[in-house]
A and B are shown apart, each in its own frame.
Chain A
Amino acid sequence: MRKSWIVPTAYIAFLMLPIYWLVNMSFKTTNEILGGFSLYPKEFTLDNYVTIFTDPTWYMGYVNSLTYVGINTVLSVAVALPAAYAFSRYRFVGDKHLFFWLLTNRMAPPAVFALPFFQLYSAVGLFDTHIAVALSHTLFNIPLAVWILEGFMSGVPKELDETAYVDGHSFWGFFLKIFIPTIAAGIGVACFFCFMFSWVELLLAKTLTAVEAKPIAATMTRTASTSGYELGLLAAAGTLTIVPGAFVIYFVRNYIAKGFALGRV
């Protein structure tokens, strides 16, 4: 068992290799990239990053993506909280069917919904807004948030609720002041997953936006097709899309560990 660090280390090395390659390319000039194979940048350049931070079509992509991801995460978790509470505490007409129906939406392929979503959001006048993308991503994030939160809430004994009522708390007083802090780890995990699935999704985000709310990922695909093949720029933009995710994991790492300890995600 002493040698057991070898497997995780090898696995992490395998995970880091393509990421290293991306970062490596982002510091090269396009000429050097196309010039041939090299393990590290020989003509180290920051030009690719400078372009991204000075050209609004580039950096606005990041702002747009983060905006709709933020709206989506807050919205999904906010509406999922009371719903998950209802599912974990009460029995009501159609509860099991409703729960399964919610989960089925997690199974809907975005490719199926791309065109109808475009028509729906155009019809209600939300096309090319951050709200449209945030709303469309609730399709798979709300079911996921309800699923995760329900798991955490079921782990909290019902006596907590009852004691609070006996102590004279109103329902909302109890829910906001006692219950929510109790399941903080669960909320952290739910936010993490909502952020993750909204941040990485592209098909719907691209379909529902044109200029104003265009996500960074879509900016990248456009660049790949119109301005030739600027690999260095593309690699730099790709590297920068990893940064917000890395930040989010770093901040929620303790919640994640704690959430995992509760045994359900």
Chain B
Amino acid sequence: MNKTVNQKAWLFVLPVFVLVAFNAIIPLMTVVNYSVQETFGDNTFFWSGVLWFEEVLNSERFHDSLFRQLMFTFSILAIEIPLGIAIALTMPRKGPWVPVCLVLMALPLLIPWNVVGAMWNIFALPDIGFLGYVLNALGFDYNFTRQPGDAWFTLILMDVWHWTSLVVLLSYAGLVSIPDAYYQAAKIDGAKGWAIFRHIQLPKMKRVLTIAVLLRFMDSFMIYTEASVLTGGGPGNSTTVLSIDLVKIALGQFDLGPAAAMSLIYFLIILLLSWVFYTLMMRNEES
């Protein structure tokens, strides 16, 4: 759409700008402020430059949480995106079952995150939870509170349960927007399942899929509540992802300087990776 130049449009944006600036800039400046100062807990602060940044970037603890975070995010993306597309492809396009499917599939998205964690906790308990009981009855030695591998399995399964629907709903939105004429043309050309998917459905879903990948990337990188209720970062530190580690440092140990420096580094990583996705998305749109 060709847009007219109109500087008065700023007046329309102003309320949004003021509200978001209040919530974003002041707290961000507070974090920046802490990140360059040293305190001994008596409300006097000293300039410490980039000391905290060096400390965080060189600490093994940060490397470990970052590695776990990346592992988690890429695992769930690798599972949820293909699974979501597959489910969207098999969903009915018309008829009475469409709203039923949509409502039931959207349900996990609307459950408060700590309830999701609590729900999976009791679902996976080895003695009285369905998942834990069944796995143990089948002969697996499953206990997510003791064994790191089981904790990871449960965490990823929980996230797949929680968020695959978002990918399904977005992919479905892309699919239903394809006009029937495209399929008829494909039929005349004699295209079969995979060819239709590759040349008609996938290109049409590209845009919503980019949004899905972006949203899942950002949100999984920020995961805190569900994971902290389910495993609390344990057993040991085996499932301590970035947010959990950060809250431990900031609110648990009250180490403001390192916590603030870590916050900024954390935010910058998300920003950088999202920016890459965003520019790729925009380039797709232009071409």
Contacts and interface: CB of A to CB of B under 8 A. Distances in A.
Interface of A: 4-8, 11-12, 14-19, 21-22, 25, 33-34, 36-37, 39, 75, 79-80, 82-83, 85-93, 95, 98, 100, 102-117, 119-120, 135-136, 138-139, 142-143, 146, 154, 158, 196, 199-203, 216-217, 220-221, 224, 231, 234-235, 238, 241-242, 244-246, 248-250, 253-254, 256-257, 259-265
B233 to A, nearest CB: 12
B20 A112 contact: no
Contact of A234 (B99, B118, B129): B118
Interface of B: 1-10, 12-13, 15-17, 19-20, 22-24, 26-28, 30-31, 86-87, 90-92, 98-99, 101-115, 118-120, 122-123, 127-131, 133, 161, 164-165, 168-170, 172-174, 176-177, 207-208, 211, 218, 221-222, 224-225, 229, 242-243, 246-247, 250-251, 256, 259, 263-264, 266-267, 270-271, 274, 278
User: Which of B115, B129, B246 has most chain A Cβ within 10 Å?
Assistant: B115
28 contacts: A7-B86, A15-B105, A17-B130, A18-B120, A34-B128, A36-B127, A83-B16, A100-B278, A104-B274, A105-B20, A107-B218, A111-B247, A112-B31, A116-B26, A138-B19, A139-B24, A146-B16, A201-B225, A202-B112, A202-B113, A203-B247, A224-B118, A235-B122, A241-B115, A259-B173, A263-B177, A263-B207, A265-B211
Contacts of B113: 200-202, 217
A158 to B, nearest CB: 6
Contact of A120 (B7, B8, B27): B27
Nearest to B229: A221
B167 to A, nearest CB: 12
User: Which of B6, B19, B176 has most chain A Cβ within 10 Å?
Assistant: B19
A6 B92 CA distance: 11
Nearest to A119: B30
User: Which of A15, A25, A112, A256 has most chain B Cβ within 10 Å?
Assistant: A112
Contacts of B30: 115-116, 119-120
A11 B23 contact: no
Given A104-B271, A245-B110, A15 B172 contact: no
Contacts of A203: 224-225, 247
Contacts of B263: 109, 111-112
Contacts of B10: 86, 92-93
- Listed from nearest, the 3 A-B pairs whose CB atoms lie closest are A245-B110, A116-B27, A260-B173
Contacts of B99: 253-254, 257
A254 B86 CA distance: 23
B285 to A, nearest CB: 11
Contacts of B243: 109, 111
A109 B12 contact: no
Contact of A107 (B118, B128, B271): B271
B118 A260 contact: no
B19 A108 contact: no
Contact of B106 (A82, A104, A117, A249): A249
Contacts of B6: 89-92
A92 B173 contact: no
A19 B107 contact: yes
Decide if the interface of chain A is mainly helix, strand, loop or mixed: helix
Contacts of B256: 115
A22 B122 contact: yes
A120 B26 contact: yes
A16 B105 CA distance: 9
Given A117-B27, A245-B107, A265-B170, A90 B20 contact: no
A91 B8 CA distance: 10
B177 A261 contact: yes
A202 B278 CA distance: 28
Contact of A102 (B16, B106, B107, B115): B16
A104 B170 CA distance: 21
B4 A89 contact: yes
Nearest to B104: A12
A250 B99 CA distance: 9
A21 B120 CA distance: 9
A123 B112 CA distance: 28
Given A86-B13, A109-B224, A231-B122, A115 B107 contact: no
B227 to A, nearest CB: 11
Contacts of A86: 9-10, 12-13
Contacts of B211: 265
